[in-house]
Structure 1
Amino acid sequence: MANNNQQSEKLADRMYDTSDYKKKDNMSQGFATTHEQVSDAYTEGTVDGVMENVAGKDIPLQRKGYEK
């Protein structure tokens, strides 16, 4: 059980690092992907499913597969 706790603590202490984009292990790739998604959402500044193109026109994002 102690080994499981040590492994869990090691994982819990891990944080995103820019080098995660270059690493091949699952955890690093997960951190890199999540960082990219959060960065995109933060930069876009919206949660309404609309993205603004370079000309300032709103483009609705596809929600196919997510609508009920």
Structure 2
Amino acid sequence: MNKKKRIVNKKDLLIAGRTFDPSDYDGTSQLEQGLAITHEQVGDDYTEGTVDQLSK
């Protein structure tokens, strides 16, 4: 059972260490689609800025 658990943990580490790649926009896996959507949301928030940046 410990051996099986180690294999699962190694697989989880591969997924956990995955970062966005532009090819994720064309990806078909749930992981690729999720990274692409998250990247888009972060990009939108970053370019929008914060409320305190609005001119008065």
Bin of the TM-score, shorter chain as denominator length? 0.7 to 0.9
Q: Deviation above 3 Å: which 4+ runs of structure 1?
A: none
Hey, which of these two has a bigger chunk of strand by percent? 1
Higher RCO, 1 or 2 (CA under 8 Å, sep at least 6)? 2
In structure 1, stretches of 5+ residues that fail to align are 49-68
- The size of the alignment, in residue pairs, is 47
In structure 2, stretches of 5+ residues that fail to align are 52-56
- Measured after TM superposition, the shift of residue 27 of structure 1 is 0.2
Q: Does structure 1 residue 40 correspond to structure 2 residue 50?
A: no
Hey, which of these two has a bigger chunk of helix by percent? 2
TM-score by structure 2 length? Answer: 0.78
TM-score by structure 1 length? Answer: 0.65
